Amino acid sequence: MDGASTYRGLLLPGSGGSGELTFAAACGALELTGDPDRAPAWPSVPLCGGLLGLALAFTLLAELLRGVDQPSPGTTASLDTQRWLTYLLGTARSHWETGAAPRRRGPRSATMTDGSPYPDTLLPCADGHIYAHYAPSDPALLAALLESEAPLSPLAVEADAVDQRLSEWLVSRTRLEAATRAQELRHAFVPVTTMAELLAAYAHGLPPPVAFLDRGTGDVRPVPAGPLPLTGLRVLELGVAVAGPMAGELLASLGATVTRLAHPVGATPGWYDRNKRTVVADLSTGAGRASLRDLLAESDVFLTNLSARSQQNLGLAESVEASSPGLVSVAITAFPSGDARHWWSAFDAGMQAVVGLADATRYPGGGPLRVAGHPLDGATALIAACAALAALRGRRNTGLGRRAEVSMLGAGLLLMAPAIEAPRESQTPGHTSNPTAAAAPSAALPDLVLRGQAWNWLPF
């Protein structure tokens, strides 16, 4: 094949002519991003290209972990970029779950199953915009945030009504003041970072998306080979929402045995819980903590994306340190340790605001917008899976596990790196009709061909 390069059993074709906007359109994300009464919008960064690059890295690491040194003749399989992006971005998820046709929702993330607006939005405040995600199920907390003298009535916690109350509350508060107060009350508010602020904050380089820490000593426990590269790998997942469960499902897709540790409330498998077995345990009890210790003892990888505060309250780091020194642990948080916001909670749309993606996705003269789906959750899940595989590869040489910390902030900044590290005056964030570097062929990853043992799998 002309223009192809071979690496550790993988054959990568030369890039085709597809670009960022082609990928965004193919997976439905372009059509779903922007205001419902206007043309679609898209950020001036190679978002889809970055996600596909991470998917490629994940696949490469899985193949390296199996230890294939030379390519051999055999069946080939391709990496379906459209299906990968649809999966990672979750653009068709609401349609598959509810049967409702996806549509553009402007600054909101979604519509509830009953058709009402989802309780999150992007709102202006004294010095910019803020992403607001609140808990309508707890009117008392919402009343405390709005400094109301009495809990709000159920009618007053409908999303559109709350937006009006929040707008009045935010008008005299800065982004940081509003977010800090909201986080104290367990509302996931985060400031919207502008592109100018992003460039100034990271003018001297970006922080790494993963931080590895050494653990104790122990014997080497190589991962046995099998029909899929991760066959024999034992993963314990304590996940919520998207990033953690998706990382576990990606590992399960390549043959790992993934055990999902679930709380008695909410133990029903979710969207990203296929190919897993479920163990129910309440970690706030002695019996639940004993179950966690037993499961850690028989696992190669421990994966969690509980909030930093929940991880601390449950003593997860101490449980990992008390387990086998060969255990690899991957902890996902919104913000990395050492960051003043480490204890804050945030969701995908909120982190889009933090890393500048919302500011880069706007109409000329308009306010920030969110990209459809959950691109930062997808990127974080892939980085977490890659971190686990890289640590396992290192364990073959040392016998020691590693502790990896993965942050959604780091994942988001990785996707935003082209806009941060190589700004150009012609690349003003704006509507998709503006030519940008994001549409360059460098974002194209049309095929991934595996030579040797056939892999007939997709991420879903």
Tens-level pLDDT at each residue, the chain (460 residues): 233 322 223 333 323 334 687 778 777 788 778 887 778 888 878 888 889 888 888 877 887 776 443 343 333 345 677 778 888 887 765 555 555 555 666 565 555 445 555 667 788 899 998 888 876 556 676 777 777 655 565 555 566 777 788 888 888 999 999 889 888 887 888 888 887 887 787 777 666 555 555 444 333 333 333 457 788 899 999 999 899 999 999 999 888 999 999 988 867 778 888 889 999 999 999 999 999 999 999 999 999 999 999 999 999 989 998 888 999 999 999 999 989 999 999 999 999 999 999 998 888 888 888 898 899 999 999 999 999 999 998 898 888 998 999 999 999 999 998 888 765 444 444 333 333 333 333 222 222 222 223 333 333 3
Residue 126 lies in a domain: yes
Q: Provide the 8-state DSSP code for 156.
A: G
DSSP secondary structure string for all residues of 301-320: EEEE---HHHHHHTTHHHHH
CATH number, domain containing residue 176 = 3.30.1540.10
Residue 151 lies in a domain: yes
**What is the β-pairing status of strands 301-304 and 234-238?**
parallel
Answer yes or no: are the C-beta atoms of 39 and 205 closer than 8 Å: no
| Structural domain count, the chain | 1
Q: How far apart are CA 317 and CA 311, in angstroms?
A: 7
Residue 337 lies in a domain: no
The residue length of the chain stands at 460
Q: Report the side by side order of strands in the sheet with 120-125.
A: 120-125, 128-133, 190-191
| pTM > 0.85: yes or no | no
C-alpha radius of gyration, the chain, whole number: 22
DSSP secondary structure string for all residues of 425-460: TT--S--TTS--GGGSGGG-----EE-SS-------
Residue 131 lies in a domain: yes
Q: Report which of 353, 356, 370, 367 is spatially closest to residue 42, judged by C-alpha positions.
A: 370
Residue 124 lies in a domain: yes
Residue 69: C-alpha distances to residues 8, 52, 63, 372, 452 (Å): 5, 24, 9, 40, 11
Query: Who contacts 408 (Cβ-Cβ below 8 Å, separation ≥6)?
Result: 243, 332, 333, 334, 335, 346, 348, 351, 376, 377, 380
Query: Who contacts 419 (Cβ-Cβ below 8 Å, separation ≥6)?
Result: 44, 45, 195, 198, 199, 356, 360, 427, 429
Q: Please give the residue range of the domain that contains residue 151.
A: 120-192
Q: How far apart are CA 81 and CA 79, in angstroms?
A: 6
Answer yes or no: are the C-beta atoms of 279 and 314 closer than 8 Å: no
Residue 188 lies in a domain: yes
Answer yes or no: are the C-beta atoms of 199 and 205 closer than 8 Å: no
Q: How far apart are CA 75 and CA 127, in angstroms?
A: 58
Q: How far apart are CA 240 and CA 233, in angstroms?
A: 21
